[in-house]
Structure 1
């Protein structure tokens, strides 16, 4: 750094690495909370329990935003110093605090709603509630109504991958066009086309989306659970039809 102070950013880089690790823990917490909420919906737990998970997600989203702003403030400060090459070593703490405060002053509730993991949580939870018809009444009559609704809902869903033409085991949804594919199948196509330096058109017939990227794909947990639920029901029905229900077992014993 000619004619200026020679500043080492090794400590700053180490701090940034630690902060990003903390952010990864937040994301892990959001993933766990999302799966807990799905479990609650699938097992027809009280709506208040599900709502509490949404509140937890909002708290995580707020922490994620704050940490992102702090990381951005540090990175912008470092870039500023490297660009300006000051003669004297500046007060890094004050500069970071100034930029962080400016970023935080622009906070709004919509920021949290736009958090990628929170948006995924809301979207998938909405689908889950439709599939499993979440109700607080756990009476037998209510459960029978839920089972009927599940059957109707699942019969209307497409569990077949447009690539493999087989039932999906690990479905992923394209955030751009909304279509779902078997994860391994779409990733294989993306990798092959990438090597050929070509774009990937959505395999769903009639879809105009012509540039499918790996970053656009996200696990469709709601669809996976619907497929698993249908398979369990089909297996249970098959067992009964083959004479393996509990009453038959008692007779055979």
Structure 2
């Protein structure tokens, strides 16, 4: 548009960079909180203490959501201005606040529970309790609960990597199919197959997942701790 205002977005880019740094600190905090919770479960002090850590995780998730909304509001505002090319320089602060408020108005508790790191926290906590309940021979659970736990953890108590056929030292879990592998072994397969431009099938016999990606893999801290505990007992 002739005569459109020339707007510099260098300051905006700097602000976004700072916000991303803040987000990395939040992620680090959530990682630390997860490890603390697993430590509590491993030492069998996992009632009120773990509940307290979970509240901290939800607070982190809320901060992460707020940062995401703010960054989204900034990015959408910049995109809108670049697209519309207004003749007069608009009030960026007002436009960003307007979009941010609209995003925040849609907040719900389910947003926090869907946070990827919070989901990982809950999943690892559940697996950790199963692993160490099984190892401790805890008889305080109902028969139905024990049957369910044993059924779910049959594959978890198998500490052997399906690739190396050796006990795992650094297990990673496939978020898609739930199977675990030695990290170095599965990453080597993924790298080799990627170079061949081929997909990677899950190495676990009988698994139908035929497109394993590096992004599918997460550290299985609960399984690693269970393996380490068994190794110390031996």
* TM-score, structure 2 normalization: 0.90
Count of residue pairs brought into register by the alignment: 222
Moved over 2 A (4+): 145-150, 152-156
Aligned position for 2:47: 47
Cα deviation, 1:9-30, whole Å, max 9, x if unaligned, reads: 1000000000000000000000
Unaligned runs of 5+ in 1: 134-144, 235-253
Taking structure 1 as reference, are residues 88 and 190 closer, same or farther at Cα in structure 2, changes over 3 Å only? same
Aligned position for 2:17: 17
Matches within 5 A, 1:66-85: 66-85=66-85
Q: CA-atom RMSD, angstroms? A: 2.0
CA displacement at 1:84 relative to structure 2: 1.0
Alignment of 1:122 with 2:119, yes or no, is: no
Aligned position for 1:33: 33
Unaligned runs of 5+ in 2: 140-148
CA displacement at 1:127 relative to structure 2: 1.1
Aligned position for 2:56: 56
Matches within 5 A, 1:1-253: 3-45=3-45, 47-133=47-133, 147-149=136-138, 157-234=157-234
**C-alpha distance in 1 between matches for 2:135 and 2:162:** 29
**C-alpha distance in 1 between matches for 2:233 and 2:137:** 12
Taking structure 1 as reference, are residues 126 and 90 closer, same or farther at Cα in structure 2, changes over 3 Å only? same
CA displacement at 1:147 relative to structure 2: 2.7
Task: For residue 44 of structure 1, give the secondary structure of its aligned residue in structure 2.
Answer: coil
**C-alpha distance in 1 between matches for 2:168 and 2:71:** 39
* TM-score, structure 1 normalization: 0.83
**C-alpha distance in 2 between matches for 1:64 and 1:207:** 35
CA displacement at 1:80 relative to structure 2: 0.9
**C-alpha distance in 2 between matches for 1:155 and 1:177:** 15
CA displacement at 1:131 relative to structure 2: 2.0
Task: For residue 172 of structure 1, give the secondary structure of its aligned residue in structure 2.
Answer: strand
**C-alpha distance in 2 between matches for 1:188 and 1:169:** 16
**C-alpha distance in 1 between matches for 2:84 and 2:65:** 28
**C-alpha distance in 1 between matches for 2:73 and 2:111:** 17
Larger-gyration structure (1/2) = 1
CA displacement at 1:189 relative to structure 2: 1.1
